[in-house]
Structure 1
Amino acid sequence: MNPHQNQRLIPLNLKSLRTRFALRFLKALKKINHQEKIHNKINYKGNGNIVMMTHHKFHKIKVAADASMAAAVGPKRAWSRAVLSRIRLSWWRRGLLRRENSIIVARKQRRGAVRQQGGQTQELRRLVPGGEEMDMQKLLDETAHYIKCLTTQVNVMRSIVNYCSTPVN
């Protein structure tokens, strides 16, 4: 019997951003958990590097949260398109060219260029996914929406943690 079966079900508003994100994120967490179980069965080593495993899982959860939020928002926002594009590009690089020197050099050059330009506007462009190509009005609009979505993301993740850590009587 499920320990949470006695709790009342709350009707979901499938049109709300919070619900769409939560459902996608929980599905992604379930997939990550399943993959980790398979990976641990195949590659179990008693002296594995726990820090590396924890960092790897943290990264997977972070990407899952970002992808879930971007997918919940849909393609109507530039930042969500940029997040999904960045994730797809990282998958492609991982599969084909992940550690090639030219990619590493290009990343360092881009970071250096952003630092040289400086200023609060450039910093904001760097923080908002896809912000590099936007004019100021669009950048501010996307920033406001992105902050709203990040706040929703944090609140849903807190709710999940609270739900999972609450003792069942």
Structure 2
Amino acid sequence: MKHLPKHLQPRWRYLAVGIETWPDAEFDRGAFQRHLWYAAQNLLGEAASAAMDLRVLRFELASGAGQAVVQVRRGEVERARAALACLDAVDGAPVGVRVRGASGTVRACEEKYIRDGPEAVAERTVAFEDDQRTAVVRSPRYDVATPDGFAGATTLDI
């Protein structure tokens, strides 16, 4: 089978996405991809979400902080941003996503927006609600382990 001429080949844009969730949440690239497709489908419908052709190319998540590179067709970047904004949970774990930027190549996307890797994460014992508790620290945020799960806090709360 012959390749399409260059002027007929699809053009792509790449979105650098920052991911934040609770430290005990564990999901992989496939689960993130599936929930992103569902979010796009629910927002735009099947035809429009298929036209965007969203794909997660790179994915990394550790201790509640991560990043991804999402491929989307050129001209559909705003719709892809809207679909990402609708993503609120992956496999039952609440998740926050932020589009750091868009680029024309994967390499430029990684160099501009994902060069440092995920945030530095440390674990400390903190005083919270009149008790000593374990917290995962991503400065200036603290995810404090409570009997009911995690609670988000800042330096002033500790």
Q: Using structure 1 for the length normalisation, give the TM-score.
A: 0.25
> Which structure shows the higher helix fraction?
1
Q: Please state which structure has a larger fraction of its residues in strand.
A: 2
**Structure of greater Rg:** 1
